[in-house]
Each structure stands twice: as C-alpha cells, then as structure tokens.
Amino acid sequence: MAEQAQYEELVRQFSAFGAVKREMGRVLPTDCPAGSAAVLTLLNRHGDMRMSKLAELLAVDMSVTSRHVAHIVERGWIERSADPADKRSRILRLTPEGLAQVDRLSRCTTQMLAERLSDWTDDEVAQLTRLMARLRSSFDESPRTPAITQ
Amino acid sequence: MAEQAQYEELVRQFSAFGAVKREMGRVLPTDCPAGSAAVLTLLNRHGDMRMSKLAELLAVDMSVTSRHVAHIVERGWIERSADPADKRSRILRLTPEGLAQVDRLSRCTTQMLAERLSDWTDDEVAQLTRLMARLRSSFDESPRTPAITQ
DNA sequence: TATTGTTATACTCTATAACTATA
DNA sequence: TATAGTTATAGAGTATAACAATA
C-alpha cells in the first residue's frame, strides 16, 4: 500500500500522459483517427465479433462504438453482416482494405515509438507494457465508481 | 531497442488507458473537470506563474490553457493579476478557496487510487510512476512529429 | 516586428436518453 | 419485457487562425 504523495505523483503522470496520446495521434493517417485505429486493431487481433463484444474491449459505451464503426464502414475497412443466430446482432469483419489499413497503422505507430524510445531497453518497454496492463485490470476488477465527496 | 510486436502491445495499452482516465474523471467534483484539476495541481506544486509557463507544463496550446484558466477564475479558485515587468503577461495565483479545492481533489483521487491499487506494492506504484515520467520525457525531447505516411 | 494572451471556429471522443427491431 | 444496436443531443478537451495589447 503506497502513500498519499506517491499517489499524487502517479495522478500527475496520468494527467501528463495526454501529451503522449496526442503526439501518437499526429502520426495517424488523416482519415483514421485514434478511435477508428483502436477498432481496426482489436478486430485484427481478436477476429470477427459483435458490436457488444467490441464495445467491451474498447471499454466505451456501445453508442460510441457504433459511431466509430459507422465511420470505418463508410471507408470500406470493415463489413457489418447480420448474425444468423440473432437478427438483432451484427457481425463485424475486416475487409482486405481494412487489413491493409491495419498494416499502415502498425507501421506508423511502430516507427514513431522506435524513434521516441530508441534509448529504452527491451526490458523497460516490456515493464511499462506490463504495468499499464495491470493498471487496467485493477480498474476493471474494482467495483464501480463510488460517490463523489463534494 | 524493442521489436515491432512489443511496440504494438504498448500501443494497445496506450489506447486502453483511456478507460482509466475516464474512471479517474468520474470521482472529480462536478464543477471541476480534469483540465481544471490539472491547472490547480500544477499551480499548487510550482507556485505562481504566467500563462505561457502553465501552457508549457500542461503541454497544450495556450488557447486551451486560457479556456481552462477562465473556467477556474470564474469559480474564484485562482486570481489573474498583471505582471508589472511585462504588461502583456498575467500572473496566476491560487486563492485560499483554490487551495481548499486542491485538497479536495487530492483526497478524491488518492482515495480512489488507494482502493483500486490496494494490492499493488509501494515499489510497483513507484515503478509505474517512474516509467510514465520517462515516457513523457522521451516524447518531449524528440524532434517534432515527422510526416505522415499515408 | 515579435510576443502574450484571448476568442471564434471546428473536430474528436465520450455518455445519456430515446428509439427500432428482435428475442 | 428485455436485449442489440442506432441516433440525437450535450459536454469536455484540443488545435488553428484571427485578433488585441504590449514589447
């Protein structure tokens, strides 16, 4: 269990992380903002899935997911087909163009990180990745947001 | 120097971090969104400063800083006074009410982290803090965004 | 002329609520 | 009735560009 000063410093780093996110966003293709990129990457990694599953992986509301998906469908990167087992659902699948876009995205971001983190060791990159994954699961597993103390 | 797959995994964690940020935002007082909280925290930590200095610490455009500051001034948490040495500049200073708000914020976020990270060791928290700080400096020091490869 | 800060405008991401279609 | 997904609306955060005041 850490102390208050440690938590405050961590919060500060959380806040400052926004600058990293924005810098990452600047290397993305103009018609593929971060939200779209996240959808494409998850579909590539986990394979075809329903909207609800995608929303869960993105950890955002399904209404948000629906907007991202609509944007991507317009560009021909994914297809929405009806689920024969449940006509309310729609199955999402990457098109060949979508797969090409995933490759493009991977090259953009990988090259960018390789430049920025050129003096990081393999182990440091792995550590950061591991700790951020753990952070996420610590937030996932906890009970929902407690009341605000005004 | 890490490999492509490692970078891709790191990018995935960057993307997923949004959920943590949003969860943090939910414990903030309703009239003090994350942007305002960041301004108050930085003023408390670094003392009185000019707009330009604050924008640099926030790593956002000064126009954005100006909006955040206006929001906070409206609530009486900081004062903007003219800089005698340069009448174009304005010096920002926390009011007593602002200081009280900083304390409130600190309690909110600290309590939240203490719950979510209850099974983290002191050292793990410190490691994540250190790596995120290093990440930020790696991005700060690098040359500006290279061209987009469409 | 250059710099400090503000404002207008536009874009991305997000959530809530109302709605349609199906289970 | 309940669930899957869409759409309308609203709010937060951001950047660019035009502007005012001062250096």
What does the pLDDT look like over A81-121, one tens digit per residue? 999 999 999 999 999 999 999 999 999 999 999 999 999 99
On whether the CB atoms of residues B39 and B51 are closer than 8 A, the answer is no
Look up tokens 């979508």; give the residue.
A98
Report residue B149's pLDDT band, with 50, 70 and 90 as the boundaries.
very low
Angle between helices A51-58 and A34-46 (to 10 degrees): 110
The pLDDT tens digits for B130-141 are 999 999 999 987
Q: CB A1 to CB B106 under 8 A?
A: no
Report whether pLDDT(A70) > 90.
Answer: yes
Which bases of strand C sit closer than 7 A to a protein CB? 3-8, 12-18, 21-23
Is the Cβ atom of A89 within 7 Å of strand D at any atom? yes
Closest-CA distance, A120 to chain B, in angstroms, reads 6
Report residue A147's pLDDT band, with 50, 70 and 90 as the boundaries.
very low
Return the SS3 of B94: strand
Q: Select the residue of A26, A37, A59 nearest B16 (Cβ to Cβ).
A: A59
Closest-CA distance, A81 to chain B, in angstroms, reads 26
Spatial CB neighbours of A137, under 8 Å, sequence gap ≥ 6: none
On whether the CB atoms of residues A6 and B122 are closer than 8 A, the answer is yes
Q: 3-state SS string over A51-118?
A: HHHHHHHHCCCHHHHHHHHHHHHHCCCEEEEEECCEEEEEEEEECHHHHHHHHHHHHHHHHHHHHHCC
What pLDDT was estimated at residue A140? 86
In the CATH hierarchy, which top-level class contains the domain B26-134? Answer: mainly alpha
Is the Cβ atom of A136 within 7 Å of strand D at any atom? no
Q: Select the residue of B9, B18, B120 nearest A2 (Cβ to Cβ).
A: B120
Is the Cβ atom of B121 within 7 Å of strand D at any atom? no
